[in-house]
C-alpha cells in the first residue's frame, strides 16, 4: 500500500491512533460509473472491540452502534471524498473511574462528570485531490468530537503538492494537528483538609498528564521509480511542536528540548 504514496510515511497528524480502520457488521454501497465520471455512497453499521493508542498508552475500547456514511465522486482527474463516523465508545480506564467515584462521594459532581470514559464519538473527514500525469494536489481534513476525556476535540489536516518529471516525483507537504481537552475548571478548594487537598491535586494532575499533541510539520521529498514496480524515496521533514506538549515526540529530557526537530527518511519499496 505504501508503494502507491509519494511519501515514505503518511502525515502522522491525520493518520494517528485515534481512528479505527475495521469493524464487525454490515455495509451497503451503490456506485455509478461512466466514461469520465464516477460516484459512490456507502453506509455501514457494526461494533468493534479494539485497542486505542494514545501517546505511549494502549487502552482497550469497546464501540457499540458504530455507524457511518461515506460519499465519493470523481470527475476526470478530480476526486472528492466525504465521510462521517459515529459510535458509542467506552474505554477501559479503571483508575480514572475510581477517582471519579471518590469525587462523587465528596459531592464534586461536575468534576466527576468531566472524567467521563464513555460517550458518543464523532469523526468527520473530507479529502480533495487532483492528479494528472504532470502534477498532483492532495488534501485531507479530519475533525473528532467527543465528551470522553481521553479523546480530545481534534482538528488535523494536510496539504500536499507534487510535480512529476518521469521517473522522478518531487513533492512537498504541510500538516497540522491541534487537540483541545478544554480548560481545567475545578471548584475543589485547597487548605481545608488533607483529603480534600489530595482530591484537588489528583484532579489537576489528571488534566496535566493528558496527551497534548499539537504539531506542525513541513516536508519535502523525492521519489525515483528506477524500475517498474520499484521506487527509491527520500523525505526530510521539519517538525515544530509546542513547549510543554508531547507533540508526537518521545521526549526523555524535556527541559533541554526546544520542540523542533528534523527527520530524514529513506526507503526502497517494491511490488510484485
pLDDT digits (tens, 9 = 90+) for 106-158: 899 888 888 888 889 899 999 999 999 899 999 999 999 888 887 778 899 99
Q: What is the pLDDT of residue 1?
A: 58
pLDDT of residue 79: 97
Q: What mean pLDDT comes out for the span 188-213?
A: 85
Residue for cell digits 471518590?
102
Between 191 and 168, the more confident residue is 168
Classify residue 134 by its DSSP letter. Answer: S
Residue 27: pLDDT over 90:
yes
Tens digits of residue pLDDT in 64-95: 999 999 999 999 999 999 999 999 988 888 88
State the pLDDT at residue 70: 96
Select the more confidently predicted residue: 95 or 31: 31
Dist. CA 266–CA 272, nearest whole Å: 20
User: Does the structure show a pLDDT above 60 at 32?
Assistant: yes
Domains and CATH numbers, the chain: 2-270 (2.40.160)
pLDDT in tens, 194-205: 888 999 999 888
φ/ψ region of 176 (left if φ > 0, alpha if ψ in -120 to 50, else beta) reads beta
Q: What is the pLDDT of residue 55?
A: 57
> What does the pLDDT average to over 151-174?
94
CB atoms within 10 A of CB 108: 20
Q: How far apart are CA 18 and CA 232, in angstroms?
A: 30
> What pLDDT is recorded for position 30?
97
> Is 4 strand, coil or helix?
helix
> What's the average model confidence in pLDDT over 159-184?
92
Amino acid at each position: 500500500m505504501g508503494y502507491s504514496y509519494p511519501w515514505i510515511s503518511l502525515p502522522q497528524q491525520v493518520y494517528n491512533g485515534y481512528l479505527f480502520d475495521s469493524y464487525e457488521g454490515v455495509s451497503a454501497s451503490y456506485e455509478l460509473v461512466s466514461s469520465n465520471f464516477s460516484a459512490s455512497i456507502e453506509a455501514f453499521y457494526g461494533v468493534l472491540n479494539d485497542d486505542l493508542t494514545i501517546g505511549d498508552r494502549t487502552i482497550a475500547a469497546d464501540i457499540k452502534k458504530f455507524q457511518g456514511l461515506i460519499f465519493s465522486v470523481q470527475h476526470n482527474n478530480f476526486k472528492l471524498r466525504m465521510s462521517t463516523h459515529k459510535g458509542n465508545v467506552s474505554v477501559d480506564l479503571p483508575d480514572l473511574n475510581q477517582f471519579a467515584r471518590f469525587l462523587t462521594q465528596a459531592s464534586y459532581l461536575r468534576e466527576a462528570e468531566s472524567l467521563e470514559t464513555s460517550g458518543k464519538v464523532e469523526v468527520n473527514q473530507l479529502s480533495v485531490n487532483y492528479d494528472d500525469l504532470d502534477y498532483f494536489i492532495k488534501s485531507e481534513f479530519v475533525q473528532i468530537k467527543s465528551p470522553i476525556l481521553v479523546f480530545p476535540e481534534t482538528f488535523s489536516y494536510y496539504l500536499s503538492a507534487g510535480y512529476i518529471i518521469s521517473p522522478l516525483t518531487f513533492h512537498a507537504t504541510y500538516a497540522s494537528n491541534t487537540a483541545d481537552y478544554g480548560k481545567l475548571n475545578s471548584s475543589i478548594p485547597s487548605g481545608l483538609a488533607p483529603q480534600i487537598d489530595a482530591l484537588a491535586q489528583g484532579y489537576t494532575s489528571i488534566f496535566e498528564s493528558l496527551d497534548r499533541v499539537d504539531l506542525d510539520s513541513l516536508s519535502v521529498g523525492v521519489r525515483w521509480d528506477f524500475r517498474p514496480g520499484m521506487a527509491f524515496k527520500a523525505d526530510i521533514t521539519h517538525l515544530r511542536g509546542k513547549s510543554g506538549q508531547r507533540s508526537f515526540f518521545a521526549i526523555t529530557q524535556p527541559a533541554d528540548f526546544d520542540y523542533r526537530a528534523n527527520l530524514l527518511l529513506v526507503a526502497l519499496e517494491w511490488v510484485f
